[in-house]
């Protein structure tokens, strides 16, 4: 699944290193959810649910190459069959810091 902006000039998808980072984050969140869910604390259920949502949404973002905030837009984009536009400051900063986006980093910063 691939999306383009309104001008149709630039693809709004993740690069391969970005996909791998989202997938790794998703697996990490799911591992956290599994570990916390096994703890006998009152806060373990809500924490496990939140970590599970983050994990699943990051894996969906990696699978569909969703470029935006995974926990807000990846699953709605998949379910609705159309792009749900979001911005993700933390991932944009990480992508820039680790140069995961490659040459498209400057293009991402100019997106509204």
* Between residues 1 and 102, the one the model is more confident about: 102
Residue 6 domain flag: no
Q: Is the pLDDT of residue 6 over 90?
A: no
The predicted pLDDT at position 111 comes to 45
CB-side neighbour CA atoms (13 Å) of 13 = 13
Residue 75 has pLDDT above 90, yes or no: yes
Between CA 112 and CA 105 the distance in angstroms is 14
**Residue 88 belongs to some domain of the structure:** yes
Number of domains in the chain: 1
Looking at residue 5, its pLDDT comes to 41
Task: Give domain status of residue 87, yes or no.
Answer: yes
Work out the average pLDDT over 8-23. 79
Domain that holds residue 63: 16-101
3-state secondary structure of 11: strand
How far apart CA 58 and CA 55 sit, in angstroms, is 5
Nearest C-alpha neighbor of 64 from the set 19, 8, 29: 19
Q: Does some domain include residue 9?
A: no
Residue 76 belongs to a domain: yes
User: Is residue 89 scored above 70 in pLDDT?
Assistant: yes
The answer, yes or no, to whether residue 107 has pLDDT greater than 60, is: no
What's the confidence (pLDDT) of residue 87?
Answer: 87
Q: How confident is the model at residue 7 (pLDDT cuts 50, 70, 90)?
A: very low
How far apart CA 31 and CA 24 sit, in angstroms, is 11
> Whole-model pTM?
0.77
Q: How far apart are alpha carbons 108 and 112 in whole angstroms?
A: 9
- Is the confidence at residue 104, as pLDDT, over 50? no
pLDDT of residue 29: 97
CA distances from 68 to 31, 60, 65 (A): 23, 12, 9
């Amino acid at each position: 699944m691939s999306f383009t902006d309104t001008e149709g000039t630039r693809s709004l998808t993740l690069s391969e290193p970005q996909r791998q980072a989202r997938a790794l984050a998703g697996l990490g969140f799911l591992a956290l959810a599994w570990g916390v869910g096994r703890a006998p604390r009152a806060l373990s259920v809500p924490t496990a649910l939140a970590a599970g949502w983050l994990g699943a949404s990051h894996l969906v973002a990696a699978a569909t190459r969703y470029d935006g905030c995974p926990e807000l837009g990846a699953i709605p984009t998949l379910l609705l069959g159309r792009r749900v536009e979001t911005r993700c400051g933390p991932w944009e900063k990480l992508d820039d810091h680790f140069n995961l986006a490659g040459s498209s980093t400057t293009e991402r910063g100019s997106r509204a």
